[in-house]
Amino acid sequence: MYKRSGPELLLLLVHPGGPFWAKKDLGAWSIPKGEYLEGEEPFAVAKREFCEELGMQPSGEFWDLGTLVQPSRKEIIAWAAEGDFPVAELRSNTFELEWPPKSGRKKEFPEVDRAEWFSIADARRKILPGQSEFIDRLLARVESSDG
């Protein structure tokens, strides 16, 4: 999701929840995303995952930003829409994890523990390196639609 603040474009990124990500910041943020199973329609899954991670159903005109292969070899397909998500209203789904490791105790963590709006420059520093190309693709699309 992106929004305009005067002449500036702001991007919505999410910070993954759980103990592995707790102290990571630069290069740790992500676009809202999730995995889809064979036979599922990726765009429908992307909207569902956005809602599960943020607690809000995205709407508007969606732009296909294509696919990127991550360093892990996972493929991410992304769409962008202009909108205004109130980050204070974040309501993420949760996952369960044995924590601390080998303790036998299960603990519940939010899938996303924060969401924030970032300037393009800040988003480039915060986003996972494998997703940064999506910023360039969005900027090219916005510039072509504004021009």
Other beta carbons less than 10 A from residue 92's beta carbon: 20
- Flag residues of the chain having pLDDT under 70: 147
First to last CA, the chain: 20
* pLDDT value of position 147: 67
- For the chain, domains (ranges, CATH) are 2-146 (3.90.79.10)
* pLDDT value of position 120: 98
- Which residues, 6+ apart, have CB-to-CB distance to 109 below 8 Å? 17, 18, 19, 94, 95, 96, 97, 99
